[in-house]
Chains A and B, each alone.
Chain A
Amino acid sequence: MGSDKKGDSGKYYFLFFIGFVLIFLFYVWESAEVITLSYQINELKKQVILLENKNCHLKAKLYRYTNLANIDKVAREEKGMVSPEHENIIFINANSKQNRILANKANFTPREGTKGASKNSHYQFYPDSNLCSYRIGN
């Protein structure tokens, strides 16, 4: 009986020891995993910043071409576009269904001899006001 009790308590001690070791190993593994993941997170964050910077630099490059002064210059000097005269602007209500259909069907005449002038060279749309204006012909 006495030796049985001794054997049982030894077994419990052994199981307790095994449990303790497992918990300890889990703790070590978890800490190592957290640290490894934190390295990965830091690397990814650095990459995000790098990509964001690259994006910003590309944006800055893009802005050099898309700023209003440049668009105006290209339109006038390279494409030969001109500001529409007041008399050539027709205001229509873009909200009206009939006018929308008309606008889609309208045949715009570019200024003759204008280098690079496209069909909608003289088209203006005013999203804020729901109004469109068209420069028609010359």
Chain B
Amino acid sequence: MEIRLYYIQIVSHPRYKKIADKQFISVKQAEFKRGTIYDRNGKELAIEFEASSVYAIPPSISNPQEIAKRLAPLLDVSQKEIRKKLETSNSFVWLRRKINTEIAEKIKSMHIKGIRFISEGKRFYPENELASQVIGLAGLDNQGLSGIENSFDTILRGKTEKTIRRKDGFGREVVAAGAAYPLEVTGYGVVTTLDTVIQYIAEVELRKACDETKAKLALIIVQDSQTGEILALANLPSFNGNSSSPEKYKYLEIPAISNIFEPGSTFKPIVAAALLEENLVTMQDLFYCENGVYLFTGFPIRDHESDGWLTFVQVLEKSSNIGMAKAGQLLEKNKMYQYTRDFGFGNYTGIRLPGEMPGILKKPKDWSEISLSRLSFGQGIGVTASQLISAFSCLANGGVLMEPMIVKKIIDSRGEVVREFHSCPVRRVISCKTAQTLTDILCRTVENGTGKEAKIVGYKVAGKTGTAQKFDPATGTYSKTNYIALFVGYLPADRPRVTILVILDEPQGLYWGGSVAAPVFARVGLRIMHHLGVPPEL
């Protein structure tokens, strides 16, 4: 007996300890609760709560057909599909994940043998479609798929750690003295720069504009002119993050940072800024606009109006392509390229969202003889909406290019700030004087020129219209039927608070930026001024 005891206690000790530990000790990953996403005023935009997921243990299921018939209407899954799952030889199969509590309770009350439940975190977006592409989507396993959910995934998940847990004979957890076991780890909260009300205004007006113009795609960005903070970023079509329809996965991309388009006439102020900064033109310099058609190195450049001599200011007011092409010739290729780069084109803006494209800007050595003139009125360059609005904010704030900001701070579950992001000036592109001159010209564009529809009663608006012909890859030429209508501007022009960009892609019927995008700008701008409490100055 002593030998047997010695054998069990000493010799076989490691083996028995291993068996016992397997029964009493478990290594568990602390469950993580995804952090909340807030707007700039603390309004919750994405929260997490527990939902029930239903699974089956097929070997325990006695009558798959009958059970499938009972569960199908509740789980919103076809009877055939449930039955197929119940008849597999697997010992575990998901029937439906993250269903709502009422349905889970109904199924629980049926007391079906072999049907079990597990609690899982489910993302809920209180404002439904609002800012859906920017906020993004979290997947079934709580992983960020798009938007802020994706770019701040590790922060929202928080730090999860494995803990060793001891169980008693009944499987109940026993806490050893002094041990602290985190039962749940809450990820950090992300406070965005979005203003829910401004976002709502932008989306309502965008929807209205889409209904009126039947545009294929539309977007509005509202940016704080001084800090570069994005106050609203509305895209259409969008999706409802709470919907279970797979349709939503089609629209995860954020067109404002991933779609590249030719800016058309909205690029003219950028060229004008370079010309003024280099003292190559004055506001009163005259340009002959060839009565509407100008053959430049064999390629025609057309204006929508037939004009003769125009001052530089009038060239911008009337948005003359010919006038700008001639003015642009005064710049050297390298200077033009340098200014375009300095305004942030052809490069990532640094916005903390996934899928950003740098746009297309060829190096001067790859330019043809017509590139400089075409670039002067916004052709031959591919930009993103976030680049374009940042460039206009640069004009608005006195010449400093700011990094577009989408996240203000990271906070922990008690609301303490863990990390704060500050508005970041990228570089000074033009002098304050040039920026002021440009603002004056852009105000005149709205007062007397192509942007009249963007006028807002009581507020001085600086802005520029744009109508870009879409490039047709099939024919290799510019389309004569598909256009992008744009308006970008800022207000109040004397002390700009917000820069607003409106883009309508392929509007039907009227397609001029000044006719379809400018009125949307005016409506959004006025409501934002009311919301921000900016008193009228005129």
A contact set with B: CB distance below 8 Å? 30, 34-35, 37-39, 41-42, 45, 49, 53, 56-57, 59-60, 63, 66-69, 72, 83-84, 86-87, 89, 91, 124, 126, 128-133
- Judge whether A60 and B126 touch: CB under 8 Å: yes
- Judge whether A89 and B173 touch: CB under 8 Å: no
* 12 pairs, A vs B, C-beta closer than 8 Å: A34-B176, A39-B172, A42-B175, A49-B184, A60-B47, A60-B126, A66-B126, A67-B128, A68-B196, A72-B200, A83-B527, A130-B533
Which residue, A63, A87, A132, has most C-beta atoms of chain B within 10 A?
A63
- Judge whether A86 and B526 touch: CB under 8 Å: yes
**Minimum distance in angstroms from A123 CB to a CB of chain B:** 13
A63–B458 Cα distance when bound, in Å, is: 36
- Judge whether A49 and B183 touch: CB under 8 Å: yes
Given the known interface contacts A45-B183, A129-B533, the answer about A57 and B101 at a Cβ–Cβ threshold of 8 Å is yes
In chain B between 138 and 173, which residues have their CB closer than 8 angstroms to a CB of chain A?
168, 172-173
Residues of B with C-beta under 8 A to A87: 457
A56–B530 Cα distance when bound, in Å, is: 33
- Judge whether A38 and B457 touch: CB under 8 Å: no
In the complex, residue of chain A having the shortest beta-carbon distance to the beta carbon of B456: A86
**Extra pairs beyond A66-B126, A133-B533 (19, CB < 8 Å):** A34-B176, A35-B174, A38-B173, A39-B172, A41-B175, A56-B48, A57-B101, A68-B200, A69-B127, A69-B128, A72-B204, A83-B527, A84-B530, A86-B526, A86-B530, A86-B536, A87-B457, A91-B536, A128-B532
**Minimum distance in angstroms from A64 CB to a CB of chain B:** 8
**Minimum distance in angstroms from A88 CB to a CB of chain B:** 11
- Judge whether A124 and B530 touch: CB under 8 Å: yes
A-B interface pairs (CB < 8 A), number? 84
B246 at the interface (CB under 8 A from A): no
B288 at the interface (CB under 8 A from A): no
- Judge whether A56 and B533 touch: CB under 8 Å: no
Task: Tally chain B residues at the interface, Cβ within 8 Å.
Answer: 37
Residues of B with C-beta under 8 A to A129: 532-534
Residues of B with C-beta under 8 A to A38: 173-175
Residues of B with C-beta under 8 A to A69: 127-130, 200
- Judge whether B533 and A59 touch: CB under 8 Å: no
B contact set with A: CB distance below 8 Å? 44, 47-50, 101, 119, 124, 126-130, 168, 172-177, 183-184, 196-197, 200, 204, 457-458, 526-527, 530-536
A86–B204 Cα distance when bound, in Å, is: 18
A49–B31 Cα distance when bound, in Å, is: 12
Residues of A with C-beta under 8 A to B457: 86-87
Residues of A with C-beta under 8 A to B173: 38, 42
Residues of A with C-beta under 8 A to B124: 56, 60, 63
Residues of A with C-beta under 8 A to B176: 34
- Judge whether A63 and B126 touch: CB under 8 Å: yes
Cβ 8 A contact of A68, one of B49, B119, B127, B172: B127
Residues of A with C-beta under 8 A to B204: 72
A129–B44 Cα distance when bound, in Å, is: 22
A-B CB proximity, top 3 nearest: A126-B533, A56-B49, A129-B533
Residues of B with C-beta under 8 A to A67: 126-128, 130
A72–B130 Cα distance when bound, in Å, is: 13
A42–B181 Cα distance when bound, in Å, is: 11
**Minimum distance in angstroms from A96 CB to a CB of chain B:** 13
A53–B175 Cα distance when bound, in Å, is: 24
